[in-house]
Amino acid sequence: MEYAGARCVFSSEWDAYAQETYAANFGERPAGDITQIPLADIPPHDFLVAGFPCQSFSICGEQKGFGDARGTLFFRIVEILENKHPRGFLLENVRNLVTHDEGRTFATILGQLRALGYHVHWTVLDGRTFGVPQKRERTVIVGFRENHPFAFPKTGFRPARSLSDILEDDRAVDPRHFLSPRMKAKLRARVGEVPAAPAIWHENKSGNVGVNPFSCALRAGASYNYLTVNGIRRLTPREMLRLQGFPDTFKIVVPDTQIRKQAGNSVVVPKMEAVAAAMIAAIQQPPLAGRPGRPRPRRETASLFQEACL
């Protein structure tokens, strides 16, 4: 949102290591658990930007949805929207959110947002179409209090990067990231003829290994183990951040285990940057004819990130 011209006035993050990373890169330490912060302490804002835990809806989890305590964070987002009445919001979650519980979960989410008076738009966007070599399909939900003409972007506006641009030189990579001879031989046996490099080898739950000129979606916990570079080593923390579109100026101030978790939880930066720019452009257009919105004073942008699978 700041790339698109907004200014962040509030942030929330409950993970201590993520707070360290945020403080080092943005100059402020986020407030803690958003469910424990009084609504009165959240400043007025134009846009709420949030992610709610994906584990409740992901095909990689148990898919408990709102039956999982982590899934109820969405309702805190609803409380904030109802109390603060921002001009709009931007939410992100896993692709499977749309089909979870035969679509009933997503219908509940859209119904709650529309009941607050918002005009809601949603789609599934893949990181690969926004200039990063990572297949990362995520559900993006945008809402406006006024019915501004809005369309999701089809691509980003930064130069696309290939795996060759992302990967570090093996000679400069710490030896701890390289596979043992036994693990390397095991993967090679499953793949057969060694494919062209550069490539990311992806070992799925069944033990099958796919080889692609892009990465499969990073995850908070398992990416380091199931993704390998050319079948010989793991991704480095810097490479993971690059796959999410972070610039090399982004500071790494926490242990590798934590930055891997943070990269796996992050959004694809160029993708969300393009969505944010489209939102800012939309509110500069007159609302379309139809149901009137409720006019509110112009406010700044608030950013809420809480263990989001971003």
Q: For the chain, count helices (H), then strands (E).
A: 9, 11
Q: Helix H segments across the chain?
A: 16-26, 73-84, 104-115, 163-166, 181-191, 223-226, 237-243, 256-265, 269-283
Q: Which of 8, 54, 60, 309 is catalytic?
A: 54
Residue 54 is among the residues annotated as catalytic for this protein = yes
Strand partners, 140: 92, 123
Q: How far apart are CA 283 and CA 23, in angstroms?
A: 30
Strand partners, 47: 88, 301
Q: How far apart are CA 179 and CA 288, in angstroms?
A: 57
**Residue for token digits 């010989």?**
232
Query: What does the block give as tokens for 183?
Result: 């693990």
Q: Is 5 left (phi over 0), alpha (psi -120 to 50) or beta?
A: left
CB atoms within 10 A of CB 54: 26
Beta pairing class for 227-229 and 215-216: unpaired
**Residues identified as active-site:** 54
